Amino acid sequence: MRLGYRIVMKFGGSCLRDLESFHRISDILKNYSKSELVIVSSALYGITNSLIDLSKNTEKHSVDLEKELESISNKHVSLAVEVIKNDLKEGALAEIERDMSELKVALNDVWDYGLKPHRLDLVSSFGERLSTIILQRYLEAEGYRTVYVNSYDIIYTTSEPQNALPILDKTEQRVKELVIPLLSEGKIPVVTGFFGRDFKGNVTLLGRGGSDFTATILAYSLKNENNDVKVILWKDVDGLLTANPKLEPSAHLIRDISYSEAKELAFFGAKLLHPLCVFPVEKKRIPVEIRNFENLNPDRYTRISKGIKTKESVVKAIADMKNVSMITVEGEAMVSRPGTAAKLFDLMGKNNVNVIMISQSSSENNITFIVSDEDRKKAIKALNWSPFFGKEWVDINMEDDVSLLCIVGAGMKNTYGVAGRLCTALGNARVNIRAISQGSSELNISLVISREDIERAVQAIHKEFNLHDDEEK
Ligand code: ASP
Ligand code: MG
């Protein structure tokens, strides 16, 4: 029997701007008309940020709520009026109005009772609720048979505010009940990205950029023995690059990358991909394409799949985080005292500090870790107030002039000399390595350098590992 083919496509906020971009979406769908399609929509460009700011200012009573709501409403109404053909426009406008009044109720609660857990999630979810109304009605008016699907009804998650995790088996069951029957009827479900619900019924968010995650969770739920699935994420760039082009002008597109490498890059703040969105597709070996909505070249995209292309080069990409801080706790009291690292990271966790990299030398008298510049103050305050680390027998040092680089490549595994080449290349470029760490998965090496050295360092590594001329034609 031939396998059916299902494609989950996500359109980011930059694809939902005006009549021209909506027509482009419609044209894209024509190219995939032989497959069963599921569409995931992000919020309109900038709307999620506006909703988050609005929630915070509403809690502080420092905003003209009516005026802000009107501005959000106007953006959606004018786009709907611009893109949806006459007969379906009225319905869309009525739905937008209904959602806007629900948003108003949610924000009035924030005003009266504060931003309780999950109220920020609820307010943030309106960006996708509103954009999806417009996209679904637009496609319907263009002649596609579509159905608006609220992800609240299908994506089940854990309960952590803002960053919940999907519960895959329950979601798979809901997709079977609510989405697959629509496909069987020849319809295209248009699904709100970014949010779902927990078992208590709260709206939950999948983290910033979470519509990528919605798409891969749906793909996971749609794949079975009879159906192959692919994910296409439409964005405003060709795909993943070998380095940040602002630091290395000859950085170029990576055409093929494995799940594990893509996860490393996403974790490391490549910004382009939601950090967790690779997990569900990796579990079921579903390929993902990242494609450029601004430049519809059928041959230029990044494909994430199981295949690791072993090429001459062992290193695939260099990721950077320019603005980080390095904190070192140091003292004889830490030597051979089990539990120090646990105390340290427990303290960071309780204070909501995200630890990006850790390095401890075997002399055990210091632990160095990296946090974002935003988390630095929280981390230092927590340490100084701590009954253990705040005492005179521990020194706390903080350096805020550093950057973090991470070189990623599945080919590094079991290959000798990579760290040697890396250090030599950096030495020759007169870049001092201030801390270094390699995970035992051997997929990446992370290093801390002075911020002023970042361009020289990236260029030296790019050159050393021949990333310049690596692009497959
Ligand atoms: N609109 C959400 C955000 O800005 C989700 C997404 O864009 O994927 O984070
Ligand atoms: Mg977005």
| 21 dihedral zone (left: phi>0; alpha: psi -120 to 50; beta) | alpha
CATH number, domain containing residue 351: 3.30.2130.10
CA 206 to ligand 2 center in whole angstroms: 12
Among residues 235, 261, 290, the one where a domain terminates is 235
- Kindly state whether residues 227 and 325 are assigned to the same domain: no
Distance CA 78, CA 377 (A): 43
Question: Per the domain annotation, does 469 fall within a domain?
Answer: no
**b/e for 232-243, b at 16 or more Cβ within 10 A?**
bbbbebbbbbbb
pLDDT, tens only, 130-149:
999 999 999 999 999 999 99
Does 42 contact ligand 1 (Cβ within 6 A)?
A: yes
Residues with CB under 5 A from ligand 2 (ion): 13, 42
Distance CA 317, CA 352 (A): 29
Mean of the per-residue pLDDT values for the chain? 92
Tell me which residue has tokens 């619900």. 197
C-alpha to C-alpha distances, 31 to 12, 27, 48, nearest whole angstrom: 19, 7, 30
- Kindly state whether residues 78 and 195 are assigned to the same domain: yes
Among residues 185, 202, 235, the one where a domain terminates is 235
pLDDT, tens only, 446-462:
999 999 999 999 999 99
pLDDT, tens only, 1-51:
556 799 999 999 999 999 999 999 999 999 999 999 999 999 999 999 999
Residue 128 has pLDDT above 50, yes or no: yes
- Kindly state whether residues 16 and 165 are assigned to the same domain: yes
Among 119-123, 268-272, 368-372, top mean pLDDT goes to: 119-123
CA 211 to ligand 2 center in whole angstroms: 7
Question: Per the domain annotation, does 184 fall within a domain?
Answer: yes
Per-residue pLDDT band at 310 (split at 50, 70, 90): low
239 neighbors 301 (Cβ within 8 angstroms): yes
Q: At what angle do helices 65-83 and 19-31 cross, to 10 degrees?
A: 50
Distance CA 261, CA 408 (A): 6
Question: Per the domain annotation, does 305 fall within a domain?
Answer: no
Provide mean pLDDT across the span 347-354: 93
Half-sphere exposure of 14 (CA within 13 A, CB side): 12
Distance CA 90, CA 86 (A): 8
**In the prediction, which pLDDT does 284 show?**
96
Distance CA 267, CA 273 (A): 9
pLDDT, tens only, 203-218:
999 999 999 999 999 9
Distance CA 320, CA 453 (A): 12
Distance CA 147, CA 353 (A): 41
Rg of the chain over all Cα atoms, to the nearest angstrom: 24
Residue 443 has pLDDT above 60, yes or no: yes
Among residues 216, 235, 254, the one where a domain terminates is 235
215 neighbors 287 (Cβ within 8 angstroms): no
Give me the domain span that covers residue 122: 4-235
Question: Per the domain annotation, does 297 fall within a domain?
Answer: no
Residue 335 has pLDDT above 80, yes or no: no
- Kindly state whether residues 201 and 327 are assigned to the same domain: no
Helix (H, G, I), strand (E, B) or coil at 50: helix
Question: Per the domain annotation, does 135 fall within a domain?
Answer: yes
Pocket test for ligand 1, best of 55, 135, 211, 233 (most atoms within 8 A of CB): 211
**In the prediction, which pLDDT does 309 show?**
59
Helix (H, G, I), strand (E, B) or coil at 274: coil
* Nearest ligand, measured from the Cα of 126: 1
312 neighbors 467 (Cβ within 8 angstroms): no
- Kindly state whether residues 217 and 340 are assigned to the same domain: no
Closest CA to 202 of 125, 306, 291: 125
Question: How many domains, in total, are found in the chain?
Answer: 2
Does 402 contact ligand 1 (Cβ within 6 A)?
A: no
Residue 285 has pLDDT above 80, yes or no: yes
**In the prediction, which pLDDT does 11 show?**
97
Q: Which atom belonging to ligand 1 lies closest to the Cα atom of 128?
A: 1
Question: Per the domain annotation, does 245 fall within a domain?
Answer: no
Per-residue pLDDT band at 257 (split at 50, 70, 90): very high
Read off the DSSP letter of residue 331. -
- Kindly state whether residues 73 and 215 are assigned to the same domain: yes
* Nearest ligand, measured from the Cα of 210: 1
Provide mean pLDDT across the span 48-68: 97
- Kindly state whether residues 47 and 184 are assigned to the same domain: yes
Q: Are strands 366-372 and 357-360 parallel, antiparallel or unpaired?
A: antiparallel
Provide mean pLDDT across the span 152-170: 97
pLDDT, tens only, 421-431:
999 999 999 99
Q: Are strands 444-450 and 195-197 parallel, antiparallel or unpaired?
A: unpaired
Read off the DSSP letter of residue 322. E
Does 166 contact ligand 1 (Cβ within 6 A)?
A: no
Looking at residue 101, its amino acid is S
Provide mean pLDDT across the span 380-398: 89
- Kindly state whether residues 79 and 210 are assigned to the same domain: yes
Distance CA 218, CA 171 (A): 8
Residue 112 has pLDDT above 90, yes or no: yes
Locate 4 and state its tokens.
Answer: 């059916």
**Of residues 299 and 104, more confidently modeled:** 104
Residue 473 has pLDDT above 50, yes or no: no
Distance CA 133, CA 191 (A): 10
Distance CA 76, CA 11 (A): 17
Pocket test for ligand 1, best of 9, 131, 208, 271 (most atoms within 8 A of CB): 208
Question: Per the domain annotation, does 276 fall within a domain?
Answer: no
CA 156 to ligand 2 center in whole angstroms: 21
Q: Residue 358: phi, psi to the nearest 5?
A: -130, 140
- Kindly state whether residues 193 and 336 are assigned to the same domain: no
Locate 381 and state its tokens.
Answer: 């305050």
Question: Per the domain annotation, does 293 fall within a domain?
Answer: no
Distance CA 45, CA 48 (A): 8
Per-residue pLDDT band at 332 (split at 50, 70, 90): confident
CATH number, domain containing residue 141: 3.40.1160.10
Does 126 contact ligand 1 (Cβ within 6 A)?
A: no
| pTM tops 0.85 | yes
Q: Which atom belonging to ligand 1 lies closest to the Cα atom of 43?
A: 1
Per-residue pLDDT band at 381 (split at 50, 70, 90): very high
206 neighbors 166 (Cβ within 8 angstroms): yes
